[in-house]
């Protein structure tokens, strides 16, 4: 993979709305379009609409019921970010193909889509303490999915408080046995870890406020989906972190990573429900994420490839894409 070239990282923010606006700006830079918005006073669902920032005044996203509608560069998938009754309560809804053209949209009411899925529903995100927002957006679609991720860290402590993203799936080696891309018309996993400093990201547990889902068609209609729980496969025999070097097989040359770290590929397993401990199938490899192998690594630690345009920053058990050559703000 290549790391997305459209990024907006190390952005100082004091509210959750400003965090979401960092993502909005990065998405627009990557070719997404704003198809509508409501700022509490006026709205449009046929054009860009009034929202141009993350403030509380006119044209701002920070107010009860305010929303913004975004469409991917292929003109297919859409998502809506909307604020709840308080400054830290937010929702994220997604439409695979039908688009958000229904409902009764207003300056404080988002539109709806017949195939919409709820990624975040009135979740409480981190406090309004000063922090840094980091958004990275894929510059090309992976199997039809334009991936992105958004993280906020608390200033001075470097604790990560929010992580949300859309992770495209890459195919696995044996699609006869693991027919991920042939069966999944929308091969991606949505990640949602609001207000969680150390989310559980393994094959044995899933944080109660985290949601990792895959979308499969229930019928031949693209508007019908079932929600499938997915978790990251654990290659390390009980944990997502092992001592540096133990993952490298015999004969591997010098590590290409500047810190000498090893990184595991993150592969998703399909589960029938959140309580299940038995996976039913391997659904594909993450295009965004890796799993760290050095237990002590944590934000603002990062790792860069010696020659390729690849870099990751560490959050708990995972390593997330980062713009190479940029130092994470603590």
pLDDT attached to residue 234: 40
Contact indicator for 110, 102 with CB cutoff of 8 Å: no
Give the start-to-end residue ranges of the domains of the chain: 6-321
pLDDT attached to residue 278: 61
Q: What is the mean pLDDT of the chain?
A: 76
Place of tokens 């949300």: 164
Strands lying side by side in the sheet with 89-95: 43-44, 33-38, 67-71, 78-83, 89-95, 117-124
Averaged over 120-146, what is the pLDDT? 85
Contact indicator for 190, 169 with CB cutoff of 8 Å: no
At 22 the three-state DSSP class reads helix
3-49 per-position pLDDT tens digit: 456 899 999 999 999 999 999 999 999 999 999 999 999 999 999 99
Contact indicator for 134, 154 with CB cutoff of 8 Å: no
Of 99-103, 134-138, 152-156, the range with the lowest mean pLDDT is 152-156
From its phi and psi, is residue 55 left (phi > 0), alpha (psi between -120 and 50) or beta? beta
pLDDT attached to residue 292: 75
| Bigger pLDDT: 238 vs 327 | 327
Of 20-34, 100-114, 182-196, the range with the lowest mean pLDDT is 182-196
35-93 per-position pLDDT tens digit: 999 999 999 999 999 999 999 999 999 999 999 999 999 998 999 999 999 999 999 99
Percent of the chain with pLDDT over 70: 67
The beta-strand segments (E) located in 115-159 are 117-124, 131-137, 148-154
306-319 per-position pLDDT tens digit: 777 888 888 877 78
> Per-residue pLDDT for 178 more than 60?
no
Of 5-19, 134-148, 229-243, 282-296, the range with the lowest mean pLDDT is 229-243
> Per-residue pLDDT for 239 more than 50?
no
């Amino acid at each position: 993979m290549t790391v997305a070239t459209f990024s907006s990282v190390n952005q100082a923010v004091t509210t959750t709305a400003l965090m979401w606006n960092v993502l909005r700006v990065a998405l627009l830079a990557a070719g997404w379009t704003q198809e509508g918005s409501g700022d509490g006073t006026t709205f449009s669902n046929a054009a860009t609409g009034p929202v141009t920032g993350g403030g509380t005044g006119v044209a701002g996203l920070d107010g009860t019921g305010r929303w913004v509608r975004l469409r991917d560069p292929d003109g297919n998938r859409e998502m809506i970010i909307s604020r709840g009754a308080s400054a830290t309560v937010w929702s994220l809804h997604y439409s695979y193909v039908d688009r958000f053209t229904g409902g009764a949209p207003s300056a404080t009411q988002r539109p709806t889509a017949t195939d919409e899925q709820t990624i975040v529903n009135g979740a409480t995100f981190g406090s309004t303490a000063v922090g840094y927002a980091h958004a990275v957006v894929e510059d090309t679609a992976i199997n039809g999915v334009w991936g992105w991720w958004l993280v906020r860290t608390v200033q001075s402590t470097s604790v990560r408080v929010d992580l949300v993203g859309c992770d495209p799936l890459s195919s696995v080696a044996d699609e006869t046995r693991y027919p991920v891309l042939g069966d999944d018309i929308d091969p991606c996993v949505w990640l949602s870890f609001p207000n969680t400093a150390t989310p559980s990201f393994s094959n044995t547990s899933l944080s109660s406020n985290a949601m990792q889902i895959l979308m499969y068609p229930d019928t031949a209609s693209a508007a019908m989906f079932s929600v499938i729980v997915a978790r990251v496969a654990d290659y390390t025999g009980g944990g997502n972190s092992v001592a540096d070097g133990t993952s490298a097989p015999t004969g591997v040359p010098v590590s290409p990573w500047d810190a000498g770290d090893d990184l595991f590929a993150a592969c998703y397993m399909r589960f029938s429900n959140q309580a299940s401990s038995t996976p039913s199938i391997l659904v594909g490899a993450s295009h965004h994420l890796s799993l760290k192998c050095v237990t002590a690594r944590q934000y603002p630690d990062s790792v860069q490839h010696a020659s390729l345009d690849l870099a990751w920053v560490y959050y708990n058990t995972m390593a997330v894409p980062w713009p190479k050559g940029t130092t994470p703000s603590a």
